[in-house]
Amino acid sequence: MDMLRLIMLSLFFALFAACDSGDSSGITQPEDLKQYTIELYLENRIIPDSVNIIVFSKNHIIEKTVKTRKRCFSGSPCLFETAPLKYGEYAKITAFAHAISENDTTKMEFSSFAPMNATKPILNIYTAAASKAIEYFLREKNMSYEDATTKAYDNMKDFGNSDQGFERDRCKPNVSSMCPIQLPYVYCRYFLSDSVFYSDFLELQDAIRDGEWGDTLFRVRAADALVRTFKNMSWDNVPGINIFYNYHDFYPNFWESIYGMEVCNDNHIGDTLVNANRRSEFYDSVFVCAGRMLQGGIKWQHWRIREPEEAKMGICNPFELRPGIINKYNPQVGEIDSVIYTCGLEGWEKTNDVNIILKHRHIPCSKETVNRTYIYNDSLYLCQIFTYSSEEWPDAFLFGQQQTYYAWTRDKDIIDSVYPGGVPDSALLKNVEGLWK
């Protein structure tokens, strides 16, 4: 019995020693397997379909290619997860996506590099812009992962955002974000169309790889596109603008800074200057400083292109007289070749409003000329006093009293009620030596 116990005890210690030596006989321990989770942030028009991960060793050798499982929830970041796997040195993350606009589907790929020990690595437009440069420095220049990444982001130092590395990792943009790493969308003219954006984006990747991002092509091109679509303080038929960012805030002096213009502010409203940037298609064009008031007292002021007719009739700024809305009752008026124009939301517009035309030609309808008549274009008009309706002027009731105004009318019933026996000659206004009598 003692001998049997001795044999069993010897076998136990032998087994313990074998385990303690670390010899796993090629079996991967469970704690070496971990799940890799990617956070994907792309603008809402870009729809991610799938994400693949290529795992590399320290010597840039491909260890495995891994597919992911998609987990996207409303109001949360879009996550792509792997099954548990043994980590390598770093990974290339590639998102396959598409965008549909006007029945045209644009297929896109966005990649990012991240160390395998990263906690929820992020793929966004900024990391994707750097990915081609990182891959080039890894493959062609045989740099380490750390050196290749540093070199790629060094090529983007004057990208318009902070050089602090944490912004690349922790700034997680989405629609209406003010995060500076969203600027690639602007440089690549995402606001025009998906196909234009993706073509520009591929060019941008090449420029960053080749160290040519310092070239102003992308910034000036984007500035010109914004100026072309900015008409009378609003975006002209560009649906991407209105859904892309809180655009009133996101474009503060964007094209002004690219062109080298001074800031458009209260001190320059109505002033003009010439664009001196020779790279711009608007080089030597005249710009006007215009502004409008938004809700909450926020001012939106920009230099915009001066329209051809403004050189003859002056600057049209319909928002200047009454912030936020057009001044319907006291508009800016101009005249070219005996044609009367008013300043409206679309710029200088030909008007057929008799009251505006006669007022511009100094033919008054006022307290002194009530019930007087005037013949214009062979029609008889009567000067009368009217009351604003709430539809015409929501603030028509002021201090409990409804507001009134003077206007010419050719309403026959009104004229007959004032002159039931016909209009006498004495009621007709006549111009005598520049004076109306």
- Residue 204: per-residue pLDDT: 94
Q: CA angle at residue 79 from 77 to 82, to 5 degrees? A: 165
SS3 (DSSP) at 359: helix
**Residues 73 and 98 sit within 8 Å (Cβ to Cβ):** no
Q: What is the pairing mode between strands 78-81 and 37-40?
A: antiparallel
Beta bridge partners of 67: 52
Indicate whether 30 pLDDT > 50: no
- Residue 239: per-residue pLDDT: 57
What pLDDT, in 10s, does the model give residues 377-424?
A: 999 999 999 988 777 666 667 677 788 889 999 999 999 999 998 999
- Residue 20: per-residue pLDDT: 42
The residue-averaged pLDDT of 61-77 equals 83
Rounded CA separation 152/138 (Å): 10
Domain boundaries, the chain: 32-173, 364-436
48 CB-near residues (< 8 Å, 6+ apart): 40, 42, 70, 72, 78, 80, 95, 96, 97
Between 182 and 301, residue with greater pLDDT: 301
- Residue 319: per-residue pLDDT: 65
Average pLDDT, the chain: 80
What pLDDT, in 10s, does the model give residues 180-200?
A: 567 788 889 988 888 999 999
**Residues 143 and 151 sit within 8 Å (Cβ to Cβ):** yes
Between 10 and 319, residue with greater pLDDT: 319
Indicate whether 324 pLDDT > 50: no
Rounded CA separation 307/403 (Å): 36
Provide the pLDDT confidence category of residue 254 given band limits of 50, 70 and 90.
confident
pTM above 0.85, yes or no: no
**Which one of 162-171, 299-308, 374-383 scores highest in mean pLDDT?**
374-383
Q: Give the dihedral sign, CA 137/151/202/44.
A: positive
